[in-house]
């Protein structure tokens, strides 16, 4: 008995030139594979330089008189792996965002595509600015303030584990990096019409309260550290409101122009 010929694979596009569901799934699979490959390679690279990175972070503390210990045999090794994974996630985040953008690009308008493309570039820049602010301003201030508390007592000696210290420092780096993304997020949401200046103005009192609550949670229990975190966040919120107002006005102006063009076209058709 003759074998049946296998059915031919369906084309990736239908008769209207639109990508099929299987085509979308195949593209999604390929983009996820790229992300995983880049992440794995980046983790391997970071593992090789993890000891240097751990020394870099701990050296920040030694400037202020900190002395570090590790209280479990595997603690130092595990911290190196953790630093490698966090570093790889941060470094590959632009690749992840780009792959998401590239997957969604066919469904975006030209203006939306340009906005997201510019946001990817500025997002990396703003995140780096947040890291620099944490490195040069926030973290040195907090480390100096906290180590100064030991002078209040003669019988308490600091014995800080590498794990607890890196928890503190890495968390601050990530928080300030993400915090400086606030203006960019407001611009993107305003361009898409999901956020308005009126919403930000009405929510300002609640946002300020929430900012101080978050600052109290993520910082040591002292007023100076809370103010150091809260004030930049409030300034960034005000900047976000200003930028939202500018870009929301541009969006409304473009919508008004588009509606005017549509009215002209309809009036011309009626005259004909």
Give 160's strand partners: 68
131 shares its domain with 191: no
Specify burial of residue 46 (Cβ count, 10 A radius: 0-12, 13-18, 19+): buried
146 shares its domain with 221: no
Q: What is the predicted pLDDT for the residue at 268?
A: 53
- 3 by DSSP, 3-state: which? coil
Tokens 């790889």 found at: 88
Summarize pLDDT for 218-230 with one digit per residue, the tens.
666 667 777 877 8
Domain boundary among 129, 162, 195: 162
124 shares its domain with 243: no
Does the residue 36 lie in any domain? yes
Q: Which domain holds residue 78?
A: 21-162
201 shares its domain with 89: no
Does the residue 6 lie in any domain? no
Beta-strand runs (E) in 140-233: 160-161
Q: What is the predicted pLDDT for the residue at 256?
A: 66
Does the residue 173 lie in any domain? no
Query: Could you tell me the pLDDT band of residue 10, with boundaries at 50, 70 and 90?
Result: very low
Structure tokens at 266: 């309809």
Q: Which residue has the higher pLDDT, 5 or 171?
A: 171
Domain boundary among 162, 190, 223: 162
Does the residue 258 lie in any domain? no
- Kindly tell me if the per-residue pLDDT of 81 is higher than 70: yes
Summarize pLDDT for 106-158 with one digit per residue, the tens.
777 777 777 777 778 888 888 888 899 889 988 888 888 778 777 666 677 77
Asked if residues 115 and 188 have their Cβ atoms less than 8 Å apart, the reply is: yes
Does the residue 169 lie in any domain? no
Summarize pLDDT for 199-244 with one digit per residue, the tens.
888 888 888 888 888 777 766 666 777 787 788 888 888 888 887 7
Domain boundary among 162, 191, 214: 162
Does the residue 10 lie in any domain? no
> Looking at residues 17-44, what average pLDDT do you find?
83
Specify burial of residue 215 (Cβ count, 10 A radius: 0-12, 13-18, 19+): buried
Q: What is the predicted pLDDT for the residue at 42?
A: 94
Q: What is the predicted pLDDT for the residue at 153?
A: 66
pTM over 0.75, yes/no: no
What are the residue ranges of helices labelled H in 192-222? 197-218
Structure tokens at 106: 């066919």
158 shares its domain with 27: yes
- Computed over every residue of the chain, the mean pLDDT equals 79
- CA pair distance 44, 50, nearest whole angstrom: 10
27 shares its domain with 156: yes
Give 161's strand partners: 69
Which span out of 39-53, 126-140, 159-173 was modeled with the highest average pLDDT? 39-53
Structure tokens at 107: 């469904």
58 shares its domain with 130: yes
Q: What is the predicted pLDDT for the residue at 231?
A: 84
81 shares its domain with 196: no
Specify burial of residue 56 (Cβ count, 10 A radius: 0-12, 13-18, 19+): exposed
Does the residue 264 lie in any domain? no
121 shares its domain with 221: no
Does the residue 46 lie in any domain? yes
- Kindly tell me if the per-residue pLDDT of 16 is higher than 60: no
Number of domains in the chain: 2
Q: Which of 5-9, 246-250, 265-269 has the lowest mean pLDDT?
A: 5-9
The proportion of the chain whose per-residue pLDDT surpasses 90, expressed as a percent, equals 15
95-127 in b/e burial notation, b at 16+ Cβ within 10 A? bbebbeeeeeeeeeeeeeeebbeebeeebeebb
Give 69's strand partners: 161
């Amino acid at each position: 008995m003759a074998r049946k010929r296998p059915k031919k694979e369906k084309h990736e596009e239908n008769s209207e030139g639109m990508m099929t569901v299987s085509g979308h799934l195949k593209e999604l699979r390929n983009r996820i594979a790229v992300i995983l490959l880049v992440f794995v390679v980046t983790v391997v690279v970071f593992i090789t330089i993890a000891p240097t990175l751990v020394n870099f972070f701990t050296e920040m503390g030694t400037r202020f008189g900190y002395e570090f210990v590790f209280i479990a045999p595997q603690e130092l090794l595990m911290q190196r792996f953790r630093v490698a994974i966090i570093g790889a996630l941060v470094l590959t985040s632009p690749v992840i965002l780009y792959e998401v953008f590239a997957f969604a690009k066919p469904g975006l308008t030209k203006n939306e595509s340009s906005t997201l493309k510019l946001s990817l570039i500025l997002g990396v820049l703003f995140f780096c600015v947040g890291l620099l602010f944490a490195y040069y301003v926030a973290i040195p201030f907090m480390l100096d303030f906290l180590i100064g508390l030991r002078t209040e007592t003669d019988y308490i000696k600091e014995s800080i584990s590498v794990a607890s210290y890196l928890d503190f420092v890495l968390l601050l780096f990530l928080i300030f990096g993400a915090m400086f993304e606030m203006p960019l997020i407001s611009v993107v949401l305003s361009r898409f019409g999901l956020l308005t200046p009126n919403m930000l103005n009405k929510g300002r009192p609640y946002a300020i309260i929430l900012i101080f609550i978050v600052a109290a949670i993520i910082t040591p229990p002292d007023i100076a550290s809370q103010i150091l975190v809260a004030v930049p966040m409030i300034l960034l919120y005000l900047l976000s409101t200003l930028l939202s107002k500018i870009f929301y006005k541009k969006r409304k102006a473009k919508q008004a122009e588009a509606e005017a063009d549509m009215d002209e076209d309809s009036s011309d058709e009626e005259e004909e």
